[in-house]
Amino acid sequence: MPTLQAGASGPWMKAWVAVRLASSKRQWKNAAKGCRRMIELARVKEPYLGASLEARLERGMAHRMAREFDLAVEDLALVEESCPEALEPALLKGQAYCLKGQKDIAGQIFSELFERAPDKDRTVLWIVGTCLSARDADDALAWVEKIKADAPRELANFVALSYRPPYEKAVEAGRRILHRAPESARVRSNLAWPLIELARFREAVE
């Protein structure tokens, strides 16, 4: 979501409010239109430094949510080119390609991102989440193996396994984490889903 910076007023503020309202209602095409208006205004005069790129990033996200993946990639690629050090544009672009069904391109984007990332574990966790948002558990599990830290790797593995059968593996992974950290409410809550898939309803509600 574009932020409202000091110095933003008039038509820009009106467009910003329109984008915020449309996004809150999940009216993604209207949100994209509002972002287009912000980009047009920024061409005349940016209300603050980076306003145009910020609005373009938001428009790419809106196009992605509207499943207008080619438009999303176009916007996100431009932001990535302008801010090559930023991770988010590349991740979102990779996700758009995942959702388009072009896993090979998405994989190349993620691999390049991984190679240049200073915090590789954190980057992999983002990539795993991106793959799972596209319901791609197989690729997510392949990335999980690259996580060095034990606890994040075990948690990511459990979450990814929950997205595909056989769900017994997810249950086993969740149980192992709970044996070590029984206070983990997050794992206990997420464990309900594979148990439900296995029709183990009594265990799911415990």
Q: What is the pLDDT of residue 7?
A: 46
Q: How far apart are the first and last CA of the chain?
A: 38
Q: What CA–CA distance (Å, rounded) separates 67 from 64?
A: 5
Name the residue with higher pLDDT: 66 or 101. 66
Predicted local distance difference test score (pLDDT) of residue 6: 46
Quickly list DSSP for 102-168.
-HHHHHHHHHHHHHH-SSHHHHHHHHHHHHHHTT-HHHHHHHHTT--SHHHHHHHHHHHHTTSS-HH
Residue 109: which pLDDT band, with cuts at 50, 70 and 90?
Answer: very high
> What Rg do the C-alpha atoms of the chain give, in angstroms?
20
Closest CA to 143 of 99, 129, 37: 129
0.85 surpassed by pTM: no
Going from the C-alpha of 188 to that of each of 98, 175, 204, the distances in angstroms are: 29, 9, 9
Span 119-158, pLDDT tens digits = 999 999 999 998 998 888 999 999 999 999 999 999 999 9
Cα(179)–Cα(136) distance, integer angstroms: 28
162 and 135 Cβ atoms separated by less than 8 Å: no
3 — pLDDT class (breaks 50, 70, 90): low
Q: What does the DSSP 8-state code read for residue 5?
A: -
74 pLDDT band, cuts 50/70/90, is very high
Query: What integer is the mean pLDDT of 196-202?
Result: 89
The number of angstroms, rounded, from the C-alpha of 176 to the middle of its chain's C-alpha atoms is 27
Q: What letter would DSSP give residue 87?
A: S
